[in-house]
Structure 1
């Protein structure tokens, strides 16, 4: 063993022994010991300099970085994990991956993690069996440094399992007791949408939302329906139970729900609050197929500000979807890098602002219907 390696201890020895599989011949021979010899410092100093740790002068750090660059040295993720106790990956657990909302949240998470040198490990628990397998086997164990739960309501025992890992945990879109959260105020979101219709003179207002009694127990449909009912009550308007329809938060579901509303006896609504833009797209299709004009006969307002909302000219309540994912990612990174306020609670809830975006799908209530 040469002199540079003689002072290795613990994780430093691990980092010296394991190097990333490089592309060049020079890089394939380079190790942290070689970098230490080239820079004229100890392996421990190289390790601290490459991890940008304190107690290394700028001149020494520059010399180490220059030596590492000349040797095309790259510390392996495994070795870095042995040294730091981290693998620089964050797990993301969610029920769907292909739907627009989830894809946008993932985009925000991935961009924020990449900015801080972390990778994303995705786990989609799209049915009961996959969900049970995930919480039974915990594939994230030893593979990630933190976990983000996206729009997935957890049972108490599932939450306890994740908390038992001792990792930073955060939730996006779906509140989870005891976890840091990044959300919008769904009650206020619904109130803003309904108030817009009320301000336009609509009194016959329906809601297309989600299943309030399903086994998955998502909170968003209930919160938005609660906001719808509260806004109607404040305006002195009656909520007709048959005008609260499940649209399954999909375009196809929105089309079926709007068709059902138009098929009921006792007249049709003149204003419809769609709890997602995708359901509004489907409702718009059903209205046009029925020969009804938007907004002259029926006004529609959605939620999200989907990228196609402008194309379909849908008035909506915009929420910052990408920003919620990015904020959650930055929060767990701040915990991992110890840059967060140590006195800040781990279960803090951060509410993101929403705003009304006026487009052509809403207008004054018709005088006859």
Structure 2
């Protein structure tokens, strides 16, 4: 079986040079890289990610850590990142922390990460100061998507403004009984999106002279079934709102489904707006605050690649805030008279 040593001997270069050339790493001239690739193709040699990392200390992988592995947002971000990283010869390792604190300690373990990944992407997970310090000592590039943390470059949207945009749309349509659905109080990982979007919701209500009503706030994790359960909870409390701002499109989809099952018409009886512009939002005619999810993954991956290829793991803590926009569809209308 042909090995990396055979390729190095045929190409007349070192094993380390073959590894760098085939992994797309810096330090190899274009001419040498092309020659090594040609020899490898001729000999039928395919680099093993683990073996290729031995001479260089690189693993050829980037870790993606998120509160949960499930969910359209996390999958879409990873897809955007993978487009960029795969083209550069890197694989993605995904870690979902679920609800187990011991799992978080295992994943955010610098000794393990140093052996497994060359860089780390942290999605919507506010790290503790101790975790930030530990990752800095790992000497691997780290980037965050979502919450801003000192010393870690971040790609984000303004979640407070997203909440304002959604609520302002409903207020301008004439709604005054507007519910907010989102935020799981049992979630100990500190997922910060729902509180920020709720703050934007409350800001706009107060600006419109509407005092936020705790009875119109229902908690829900970021899944469609949680949205359906939240609708049932609002119904149990008595008078339903005329409109709902859901923390995400998946939650909004669950609300729309439950409302229709209950005999309500959307939007004639109940307007619903979400956030994300999920791939299937148009199917339900869902009004949403769109964010460029896959583009955030691409930008984060490009930032990591620049640092990997430059051989520098240091970061300046810069923050890139991506724009959002209201996409109006058929799930919102003026309140019933």
Computed over aligned residues only, the root mean square deviation of the Cα atoms, in angstroms, reads 2.8
- Matched residue, 2:132: 159
- Matched residue, 2:73: 101
CA gap of 1:135–1:284, structure 2 versus 1, over 3 A, is: same
In structure 1, list runs of 5 or more residues that go unmatched: 1-20, 37-41
CA gap of 1:33–1:275, structure 2 versus 1, over 3 A, is: same
Structure 1 residues 34-71: Cα deviation after superposition (integer angstroms, max 9, x where no partner): 221xxxxx54996587668678584x665555444434
- Whether contact under 8 Å (1:212, 1:222) holds in the other structure is no
CA distance in 2, matches of 1:318, 1:163: 33
Give the superposition deviation at 1:345: 5.1
- Whether contact under 8 Å (2:152, 2:315) holds in the other structure is no
CA distance in 1, matches of 2:180, 2:214: 10
Structure 1 residues 245-280: Cα deviation after superposition (integer angstroms, max 9, x where no partner): 102222122112112222324x32111111111111
| Residue 220 in structure 1 maps to residue 193 in structure 2 | yes
Provide the aligned length of Structure 1 versus Structure 2: 334
The 5 Å alignment of 1:353-364 reads 353-364=323-334
Q: What is the aligned counterpart of 1:292 among 261, 264, 269? A: 264
Give the superposition deviation at 1:336: 0.6
- Matched residue, 1:31: 7
The 5 Å alignment of 1:137-216 reads 138-211=111-184, 214-216=187-189
Structure 1 residues 178-213: Cα deviation after superposition (integer angstroms, max 9, x where no partner): 211111110111111011111111111111111357
CA distance in 1, matches of 2:16, 2:191: 51
SS of residue in 1 equivalent to 2:274: strand
CA gap of 1:299–1:75, structure 2 versus 1, over 3 A, is: closer
CA gap of 1:243–1:49, structure 2 versus 1, over 3 A, is: closer
- Whether contact under 8 Å (2:81, 2:300) holds in the other structure is yes
CA gap of 1:174–1:45, structure 2 versus 1, over 3 A, is: closer
The 5 Å alignment of 1:12-161 reads 22=2, 30-36=6-12, 43=14, 47=18, 56=29, 58=31, 65-74=37-46, 77=49, 80-126=52-98, 127-136=100-109, 138-161=111-134
- Whether contact under 8 Å (2:7, 2:39) holds in the other structure is no
CA gap of 1:172–1:365, structure 2 versus 1, over 3 A, is: same
SS of residue in 1 equivalent to 2:115: coil
Q: What is the aligned counterpart of 2:230 among 235, 249, 257? A: 257
- Whether contact under 8 Å (1:191, 1:227) holds in the other structure is yes
Q: What is the aligned counterpart of 1:331 among 268, 282, 303? A: 303
- Pick the structure with greater CA Rg: 1
CA distance in 2, matches of 1:181, 1:151: 10
SS of residue in 2 equivalent to 1:356: strand
SS of residue in 2 equivalent to 1:334: helix
- Matched residue, 1:274: 246
CA distance in 1, matches of 2:96, 2:249: 23
SS of residue in 2 equivalent to 1:92: strand
CA gap of 1:46–1:118, structure 2 versus 1, over 3 A, is: closer
TM-score (norm 2): 0.88
SS of residue in 2 equivalent to 1:272: strand
- Whether contact under 8 Å (2:114, 2:140) holds in the other structure is no
Q: Which moved more, 1:64-73 or 1:101-110?
A: 64-73
SS of residue in 2 equivalent to 1:140: helix
TM-score (norm 1): 0.81
CA distance in 1, matches of 2:311, 2:6: 32
